[in-house]
Amino acid sequence: MHTLPQLTRRAAILAGGLAVLAGCTSGEDDAMPGMDHGSAHGQASDSGSGAGSDGTSGHGSDHGGAHAGHAMAGGPAPEGIAEAADPTYPVGTEVVLTADHMPGMKGAEATITGAFTTTTYAVSYTPTDGGAPVTDQKWVVHEELENPGAAPLPDGTEVVLLAEHMPGMKGATATIDSSTQETVYMVDVDADGMTMTNHKWVVESEMQPVG
């Protein structure tokens, strides 16, 4: 027959054993989340790597040209611009472009959708949307400048752009790099896998007759 002190000692030993067992179990439970976290981290890294590959691929596609953000539909000619009275290439004429403003443009066939008499400028500017500075952007016509005064404006003149050819262009402060008095045209053209209507702008020296 066990005495009370013996029972007390055995109860204490049993309680101690249970505490040790609970501690071991707790340690295993703590370790498992760590393993899961490591596994999840590895999956996240793999996922990140995949996203990086896709991002690079997407960027490569977008990086197809400096005009990757160019609007596909150019819209109407700006208000106040004068139509050319007797253009070399009337509306509807098929031409071959020699301009290389964007990938796929040089050598592409295009259809004239407008011919105008004005001063046309190449400009450099920093987009208002935080994009990288743009240099020698071709082209912007005099009627796409804010309160420009009389044309032509001399090289080096600072102007504010009203054109919306590219993201961040409208409202940007620009510097005129050069200008031309050639007839300037709007065209429909397929370039770099993109169909553009009323593309602005191509000057006369940047095109030639088909054939």
In whole angstroms, give the CA distance from residue 144 to residue 118. 11
182 touches 205 (CB < 8 A): yes
Q: In the predicted model, what is the mean pLDDT of residues 142-157?
A: 98
Q: Which residue has the higher pLDDT, 54 or 165?
A: 165
**Which pLDDT does position 211 carry in this prediction?**
81
**Which pLDDT does position 51 carry in this prediction?**
32
Report residue 117 as tokens.
Answer: 């008499």
In whole angstroms, give the CA distance from residue 146 to residue 139. 15
Q: Which residue has the higher pLDDT, 18 or 42?
A: 18
**Which pLDDT does position 193 carry in this prediction?**
84
Residue type at position 160: V
In whole angstroms, give the CA distance from residue 77 to residue 54. 38
Tens digit of each residue's pLDDT (9 = 90 or more) over 121-140: 999 999 999 999 999 999 99
Mean pLDDT (the chain) is 77
| Burial state string for 171-186 with b = 16 or more CB within 10 A and e = fewer than 16 | ebebebeebbebbbbb
* φ/ψ (deg, to 5) at 17: -65, -45
Q: Which residue has the higher pLDDT, 87 or 51?
A: 87
In whole angstroms, give the CA distance from residue 67 to residue 13. 80
Extended strands (E) in the chain: 82-83, 94-97, 109-117, 120-125, 134-141, 158-160, 173-180, 184-191, 194-203, 207-209
3-state class (DSSP) for residue 189: strand
Count of all residues that appear for the chain in the document: 211
In whole angstroms, give the CA distance from residue 29 to residue 190. 63
195: pLDDT confidence band, cut at 50, 70 and 90?
very high
Nearest CA among 131, 129, 121 for reference residue 158: 121
pLDDT at residue 28 is higher than 70: no
**Which pLDDT does position 113 carry in this prediction?**
98
Q: 82-209 — its CATH code?
A: 2.30.30.1210
111 touches 131 (CB < 8 A): no
In whole angstroms, give the CA distance from residue 94 to residue 208. 9
Tens digit of each residue's pLDDT (9 = 90 or more) over 166-190: 999 999 999 999 999 999 999 999 9
pLDDT at residue 153 is higher than 70: yes
- Per-residue three-class SS string for 91-108: CCCEEEECCCCCCCCCCC
